[in-house]
A and B are shown apart, each in its own frame.
Chain A
């Protein structure tokens, strides 16, 4: 590889930001001042091997400190990591949270997604934009769902500097959002995670039982509340025993695809190729989803314990926790929890003195829903654009760094703790025959008590909405998020199980339940969904890259029309939708038409 770096130089601050992550450069080949030794010695060959997987952390380091990524900073980072600048530019421009052009140090991300739109996001945007004009040192950026839907409308301020500062305003008034942007340090504290759990304190809760009960910053408190008993049990059972329990429990993935977890673990564990990796998918960018955030903020040690068990069972010694970039509080809590676990021998060379080595690294996403797709996530960690890979080969065989990898959702992993503590049969007795265990639901929109609910599989949609308290005249419920589908108010008897929703011609997805009363204009909602997919498409394949644009255009054309006037465009939408579903590379393009189709067919959106 013959790299060309041009002659743009980093500023001292940009260099310091990169060096804080990578250490000082060793030679002028890496961007240090030229010394006599450099004249006679060049780092090349294997010595200069790329450290490409540090590209995303490096881009974060610069963006966090400066607020944007200049040519000089990018070139310096490339030199340090042996990455071609064109490729690094391709990566930097892939993520919504990075900018390659100058911008104010503070960016206020204002959510314009479904729950927030219904709660007045448009006014919030207009109001904050009017107040934070040029010269205010802050810019307003319209954002997809920030994962704070239970407190809609939401805004997140990020101020670059050392250290970077963040503040959340939710539910946000214009005043609160402007305060967060202009003085993030003095903005109001966020309410505790338990505020997002309306059932908090209910002793029957399994997954959410510790949220609001334990101190998320204290390992001792976690242990006092049953923490690390599941890991001890795992060591008693041995890896094969753990996989057997997980398989017998009937646990299926909670990330949206509902794949049997035991089978995935078994398939990875049995791969002869080494090393194996464990990846926890904490990217949670599906509009309407915030359950993983609440778990990580309210009970961070449980995820670390669960990842340790998953790593042990599948033969991995390194775990990656891929956390969505818009979750600063979850990041702080998890970093703290990891440090405590390491200090106490619960991570590291010899976990619990059992001779098993395991550690976890957090990788921060940077604003790209597609990075939640499992193979796009691998590319993102490896320092490539977050584009999905074609399958086969599947991750269990060739995943992260081309090695056998288990990837699981946060909620899926946390379920492993009760499986081990109560035993597979007792766990499998919860829920229904095909959908076992407890399930988290993220309820938002027109309800009195939005939040994360835990119910055994099999409760009906009506049961859940009764708990949450439907407000006003219910017009529609979006099940499964933007990739899911709408159902009618007369369909509340649908059982919340994977098989029950499938029979009803819809999907449970990751457990999103968004309620909309009749004040919410459906066509606007559908436009927002179309805009989301158009914005989040990685752009790799034609059906999705262009199809999502054509879908949004058609919805714009019929926004004000019904009946015969809309018929042609609806026919066109169906044709394009069918090809997107059939011919797109990944789940994003394949599901981008689901919600719109269901609104047309089940709700009669344009009749």
Chain B
């Protein structure tokens, strides 16, 4: 018999969203409530299985009575709240945040952001040709994955995934401060000298492609990466008895990368080095 977990019954909160009354279970964020009613709010640092750091600030909304805007991804809904998601004020901040980000980092592999830049009429070039950029060279120091921090928006997701929220390895952290803050291992050493166990869970959560499979990185450099031509097949990892779910991304009959479904109740997208990177044996055709 399958047991369906019902969870603790949750009280419903009532509040207004863009003038309409809505009800959401206690503990939901404003973003949860927006999504439940089909309202789209842009997000970058929010992730489905990690506690958002609310650092990017593209999801800001207006809450009646609050001095500043609030991040929809993190602020819990409260009874009687009056939330407005699409005011001039919120749109202005989103536009500026998109401009600030796009002027300082490479968002070319960040999904959806091009659409938002158009929607909010953001003009990242406005800051002039001398605007400071990250300008980091990709760090290629091992055969499994590449760190291209020129694309990093400092969402902290990889840090949380490597640390206490997922992997408990604590190989990476944010170092430095302000505009000079960067994701780094201790002493900014190569990955191979660090505590990294190559589970690749950080790649799994990275929203911008700053962390990617070496295979993907090389194919992009060669111009052969073609997401449209890829198929995804979810299967079970055959290495050990844990039984993690793998999603194989296949292009031209070759596995080009491996992800893992986040809605799996046991693994939530986590894998180990074998499941994530040990796919070569599958395509060993000798």
Q: Which residues of A contact B (CB under 8 A)?
A: 1-4, 6, 71, 74-75, 84-90, 93-94, 100, 368, 385, 390, 392, 534-543, 545-550, 553-554, 557, 572, 575-576, 578-579, 581-585, 590
Could you say which of A385, A537, A576 contacts B100, with CB atoms under 8 Å apart?
Answer: A576
Given A390-B71, A545-B179, CB of A539 within 8 Å of CB of B60: no
What is the bound-complex CA distance between A534 and B132, given in angstroms?
12
Q: Which of A89, A94, A392, A557 has the most CB of B within 10 A?
A: A89
Given A541-B56, A546-B101, CB of A583 within 8 Å of CB of B68: yes
User: Nearest-CB distance from A289 to chain B (Å)?
Assistant: 21
Binds A, one of B109-117, B169-177, B240-248, B267-275: B169-177
Asked whether B81 is an interface residue with its Cβ less than 8 Å from the other chain, the reply is: no
Asked whether B17 is an interface residue with its Cβ less than 8 Å from the other chain, the reply is: no
What is the bound-complex CA distance between A481 and B219, given in angstroms?
53
Could you say which of A94, A390, A549, A578 contacts B54, with CB atoms under 8 Å apart?
Answer: A390
CB distance A585 to B54 under 8 Å?
yes
Given A1-B168, A545-B154, A546-B104, CB of A368 within 8 Å of CB of B127: no
Asked whether B97 is an interface residue with its Cβ less than 8 Å from the other chain, the reply is: yes
CB distance A71 to B187 under 8 Å?
yes
CB distance A590 to B68 under 8 Å?
yes
User: Nearest-CB distance from A585 to chain B (Å)?
Assistant: 7
A sample of 11 inter-chain contacts (CB < 8 A) reads A89-B184, A90-B173, A93-B175, A392-B76, A534-B179, A535-B178, A542-B55, A550-B103, A550-B131, A553-B130, A578-B92
CB distance A89 to B175 under 8 Å?
yes
A546 cross-chain contacts in B, Cβ below 8 A: 100-101, 103-104, 179
Asked whether B16 is an interface residue with its Cβ less than 8 Å from the other chain, the reply is: no
CB distance B173 to A537 under 8 Å?
no
Could you say which of A86, A554, A557 contacts B172, with CB atoms under 8 Å apart?
Answer: A86
Q: Contacts A3-B195, A71-B186, A539-B180 given; 5 further ones with Cβ under 8 A?
A: A89-B187, A547-B100, A550-B127, A554-B127, A579-B93
What is the bound-complex CA distance between A507 and B224, given in angstroms?
58
What is the bound-complex CA distance between A87 and B184, given in angstroms?
9
User: Nearest-CB distance from A552 to chain B (Å)?
Assistant: 9
B188 cross-chain contacts in A, Cβ below 8 A: 89
CB distance A385 to B174 under 8 Å?
yes
Given A85-B186, A576-B100, A584-B68, CB of A4 within 8 Å of CB of B175: no
CB distance A2 to B176 under 8 Å?
no
Report B52-94 CB contacts with A as 1/0, cut-off 8 Å: 0111111010000000110100101000000000000100110
Asked whether B136 is an interface residue with its Cβ less than 8 Å from the other chain, the reply is: no
CB distance B178 to A2 under 8 Å?
no
Report B204-236 CB contacts with A as 1/0, cut-off 8 Å: 000000000000000000000000000000000
CB distance A542 to B53 under 8 Å?
no
Q: Which residue of chain B has its CB nearest to the CB of A88?
A: B186
A579 cross-chain contacts in B, Cβ below 8 A: 92-93, 95-97, 100
What is the bound-complex CA distance between A537 and B177, given in angstroms?
7
CB distance A572 to B126 under 8 Å?
yes
Asked whether B181 is an interface residue with its Cβ less than 8 Å from the other chain, the reply is: yes
Q: Which residue of chain A has its CB nearest to the CB of B57?
A: A583
User: Nearest-CB distance from B30 to chain A (Å)?
Assistant: 13
Given A1-B170, A582-B68, CB of A553 within 8 Å of CB of B175: no
List 9 tightest A-B contacts by C-beta distance, closest first: A84-B170, A4-B195, A539-B181, A579-B96, A90-B173, A546-B100, A85-B186, A583-B93, A537-B178
CB distance A542 to B56 under 8 Å?
yes
CB distance B175 to A584 under 8 Å?
no
CB distance B174 to A542 under 8 Å?
no
Q: Which residues of B contact A (CB under 8 A)?
A: 53-58, 60, 68-69, 71, 74, 76, 89, 92-93, 95-97, 100-101, 103-104, 126-128, 130-132, 153-154, 156, 163, 168-181, 184-188, 193-195, 197
CB distance B54 to A3 under 8 Å?
no
Could you say which of A86, A534, A550 contacts B171, with CB atoms under 8 Å apart?
Answer: A86
CB distance A548 to B178 under 8 Å?
yes
Q: Which residue of chain A has its CB nearest to the CB of B167?
A: A2
CB distance A539 to B174 under 8 Å?
yes
A543 cross-chain contacts in B, Cβ below 8 A: 57, 93, 96-97, 100
CB distance B132 to A549 under 8 Å?
yes
CB distance B194 to A4 under 8 Å?
yes
B168 cross-chain contacts in A, Cβ below 8 A: 1-2
CB distance A539 to B178 under 8 Å?
yes
B101 cross-chain contacts in A, Cβ below 8 A: 542, 546
Given A84-B195, A90-B184, A546-B100, CB of A539 within 8 Å of CB of B132: no
Could you say which of B68, B95, B154, B174 contacts A90, with CB atoms under 8 Å apart?
Answer: B174
What is the bound-complex CA distance between A158 and B194, given in angstroms?
33
What is the bound-complex CA distance between A590 and B184, given in angstroms?
28
Q: Which of A90, A392, A543, A583 has the most CB of B within 10 A?
A: A583
CB distance A550 to B56 under 8 Å?
no
A75 cross-chain contacts in B, Cβ below 8 A: 186
Q: Which residue of chain A has its CB nearest to the CB of B104?
A: A546
B169 cross-chain contacts in A, Cβ below 8 A: 2
A1 cross-chain contacts in B, Cβ below 8 A: 168, 170
CB distance B69 to A539 under 8 Å?
no
What is the bound-complex CA distance between A71 and B180, given in angstroms?
20
What is the bound-complex CA distance between A581 and B66, given in angstroms?
13
What is the bound-complex CA distance between A535 and B131, given in angstroms?
16
Could you say which of B128, B178, B186 contacts A557, with CB atoms under 8 Å apart?
Answer: B128
B154 cross-chain contacts in A, Cβ below 8 A: 539-540, 542, 545
What is the bound-complex CA distance between A349 and B126, given in angstroms?
62
Given A582-B89, A582-B93, CB of A539 within 8 Å of CB of B179: yes
CB distance A368 to B173 under 8 Å?
no
What is the bound-complex CA distance between A90 and B162, given in angstroms?
14
CB distance B178 to A538 under 8 Å?
yes
CB distance B186 to A539 under 8 Å?
no
CB distance A100 to B187 under 8 Å?
yes
CB distance B97 to A89 under 8 Å?
no
A585 cross-chain contacts in B, Cβ below 8 A: 54-55, 57
A584 cross-chain contacts in B, Cβ below 8 A: 57, 68
What is the bound-complex CA distance between A4 and B69, given in angstroms?
41
User: Nearest-CB distance from A160 to chain B (Å)?
Assistant: 20
Could you say which of B126, B156, B179, B195 contacts A86, with CB atoms under 8 Å apart?
Answer: B195
CB distance A86 to B194 under 8 Å?
yes
Q: Which of B89, B154, B179 has the most CB of A within 10 A?
A: B179
Given A390-B74, A543-B96, A582-B69, CB of A6 within 8 Å of CB of B186: yes
Could you say which of A85, A88, A534, A575 contacts B178, with CB atoms under 8 Å apart?
Answer: A534
CB distance B181 to A542 under 8 Å?
no
What is the bound-complex CA distance between A390 and B56, given in angstroms?
13
User: Nearest-CB distance from B148 to chain A (Å)?
Assistant: 19
Q: Which residue of chain A has its CB nearest to the CB of B74?
A: A390
User: Nearest-CB distance from A454 to chain B (Å)?
Assistant: 30
A550 cross-chain contacts in B, Cβ below 8 A: 100, 103, 127, 131
Could you say which of B56, B60, B130, B193 contacts A6, with CB atoms under 8 Å apart?
Answer: B193
CB distance B185 to A86 under 8 Å?
yes
A89 cross-chain contacts in B, Cβ below 8 A: 173, 175, 184-188
Given A2-B169, A578-B92, A582-B68, CB of A553 within 8 Å of CB of B178: no
What is the bound-complex CA distance between A582 and B69, given in angstroms?
5
Q: Which residue of chain A has its CB nearest to the CB of B162?
A: A86
A536 cross-chain contacts in B, Cβ below 8 A: 178
Q: Which of B60, B171, B178 has the most CB of A within 10 A?
A: B178
Given A86-B184, A572-B126, CB of A541 within 8 Å of CB of B57: yes
